[in-house]
Every structure is written in structure tokens, then in C-alpha cells.
Amino acid sequence: MAIAVWQYPKCSTCRKALKWMTDHGIAFDATDIVARPPSAAKLRDLWERSGLPIARFFNTSGESYRAGGFKEKLKTMSDAGALAALAADGKLIKRPLVDAGGTVLVGFDETAYQQTLGGSGARR
């Protein structure tokens, strides 16, 4: 089964993550997170499996985050409200967002990818 990856084609971090996965022989299905953001239900599933605080799913350096005032809003926003906001605007979601079945990765950290995804062509 291929790993599901929500990414934004113009995002350099996403391109770096996809290149890393390709270089390591990891099969994945990529979805444009802006054109087709995950639903609130899917985001809830990913968030719960990730074990991360909901705030980690927000792209804090993005324009949508700043323009929407989410730095302040998140302090009082319910989990359901946060998930609905993320589902409504793919640019709010930290990317890439990777569903590797047993593990969910948010953003790109090469060490975490290596530990979680491994891969056949791993370089040292």
C-alpha cells in the first residue's frame, strides 16, 4: 500500500520530502493539499493517530494563518473548530502531511522520515 501524502506543489519543503521518499524507494500517492484538502473527519483521524497537539497541524508561517489571526484564535478554538478551519483551507495545514498507516508525519524532518519510513535506498 502506498503512503498518502498531502502536499503543495509550490512548497519547497514538500518537494524535498517527495524527493527524499523517491530517492529511498518509498511508494506514495501525492494529493495537492490546496486543491483537495483532507476532510475534517480525515484530519481528525490523522490528528488522533499522530499524538500531536492540534496546533502542530497549522502552517504557522503561512499567509492564511497570519491573515486569519489563528495565533490568537487557536488559544480558544475547539478541536472541532480547528479541524473545520484546516479542512476549509489547505494552505492552513502544515505540509507535507503524511499518512503512513501506523504513523502520521507533519512537516519534513529527515530523521523522523528515516526512522518511520525507512526505505530501500537509504543514504548515510
Radius of gyration of the chain (CA): 14
Tens digits of residue pLDDT in 16-47? 999 999 999 999 999 999 999 999 999 999 99
Q: What is the pLDDT of residue 2?
A: 80
Q: Is residue 8 part of a domain?
A: yes
Q: Which domain holds residue 36?
A: 3-117
* CATH at residue 103: 3.40.30.10
- State the Cα–Cα distance between residues 91 and 80, nearest whole angstrom: 18
Number of domains in the chain: 1
Task: Decide if 123 is inside a domain.
Answer: no
Query: What pLDDT was estimated at residue 120?
Result: 63
Residue 64 resides in a domain = yes
- Residue 118: pLDDT band (50, 70, 90) is confident
Cα–Cα dist 67/61, whole Å: 11
Nearest-5° angle of CA 31, CA 92, CA 57? 85
Residue-wise pLDDT tens digits, 69-83: 999 999 999 999 999
Whether 124 is in a domain gets the answer no
